[in-house]
Amino acid sequence: MKQLIFIVLAGTIIVGCNAQPPQNKSNSMENNNIKKNVHYSKTDTNVVKVKEEEWKQLLSPEVYHIAREKGTERPWTSKFEDFKEIGTYHCAVCGNALFKSNTKFDSGCGWPSFFDPIAKGSLIYLPDNTHGMRRTEVQCGRCKSHLGHVFEDGPPPTGLRYCINGVVLDFDKSKE
């Protein structure tokens, strides 16, 4: 009897380990009650003005927390930290072009770092005196989402280090 129970349990475990995970579509935007972000565009350069309640419905909780509540992702967790592809980084909230990959560098700080924005108007700079520090916050120039901070300890030619939360970045690989 014990052998029979063992065989049944072992078979159940083996079948369970080899089974394909259920096709759960709860990660899709529609099934998470997150609407399609109609404000996202990689070509529209008009300033986006959206009420916070709408952003909360449009964005994932993680993106909303960092972009709209000025959160910070944990260091060394971004898929873009060691990313080496050639292309353009965009705001994940609105699609605004932010940085070219040839301005990205390994700063060792734990977040994707860049030394020069793609254009003067692509970013907004604001003083940030939170946490007992004097820093400069960087926001998206199109939707005013929090991206990270800029520091004056970067490489030439600018001497700047844009320390950006990867969760608020999208990437378009260059076709060249």
List, for residues 5-50, the tens digit of each pLDDT value. 434 334 433 333 333 333 333 333 333 345 689 999 999 999 999 9
Measure the CA–CA gap between 74 and 82, rounded to whole angstroms.
15
Measure the CA–CA gap between 114 and 85, rounded to whole angstroms.
14
Which class is domain 36-173?
Answer: mainly beta
Catalytic machinery residues: 163
Residue 176 has a pLDDT of 56
Residue 35 has a pLDDT of 65
pLDDT in tens, 107-159: 999 999 999 999 999 999 999 999 999 999 999 999 999 999 999 999 999 99
60 residue type, one letter: S
